[in-house]
């Protein structure tokens, strides 16, 4: 069995997720909580668009494929907007190397 980030990969039925290089089955994406949400809320006009951002993050918080979605967005820097419960700024922070305190 071939797996990608813990998802069984069906060669006949998968979608590539942007430029992430990951293959995620269409069945997985069908479970996305945002499928029935307003797409616009996932693309806030700016960091000041708190209403859209909050609404999108609320949808993501109940999504069963949040970790897979975040993995896609972490790998593909070209993706804009809210993915996996994170904003673009959140993802940039997560990509930064962590500093380890030295005693």
Residues that bind ligand SF4 (CB under 6 A): 32-34, 42, 59-60, 63, 65-66, 69, 82-85
Min separation Cβ 14 and ligand SF4, Å: 16
Query: In angstroms, what is the minimal distance from the CB of 56 to ligand SF4?
Result: 7
Residue ranges with strand state E in the chain: 3-4, 7-8, 14-16, 23-25
Distance CA 31, CA 18 (A): 18
Q: How far is the CB of 57 from ligand SF4 (least distance, A)?
A: 8
Closer Cβ to ligand SF4, 64 or 92, answer by number: 64
Question: What is the rounded distance in angstroms from the CA atom of residue 9 to the CA atom of residue 5?
Answer: 10
């Amino acid at each position: 069995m071939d797996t990608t980030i813990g998802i069984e990969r069906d060669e006949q039925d998968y979608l590539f997720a942007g430029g992430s290089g990951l293959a995620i089955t269409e069945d997985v994406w069908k479970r996305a909580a945002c499928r029935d949400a307003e797409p616009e809320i996932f693309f806030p006009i700016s960091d000041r668009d708190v209403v859209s951002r909050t609404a999108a993050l609320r949808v993501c918080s109940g999504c069963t494929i949040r970790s897979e979605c975040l993995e896609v967005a972490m790998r593909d820097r070209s993706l804009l907007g809210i993915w996996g419960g994170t904003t673009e700024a959140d993802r940039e922070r997560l990509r930064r190397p962590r500093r380890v305190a030295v005693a």
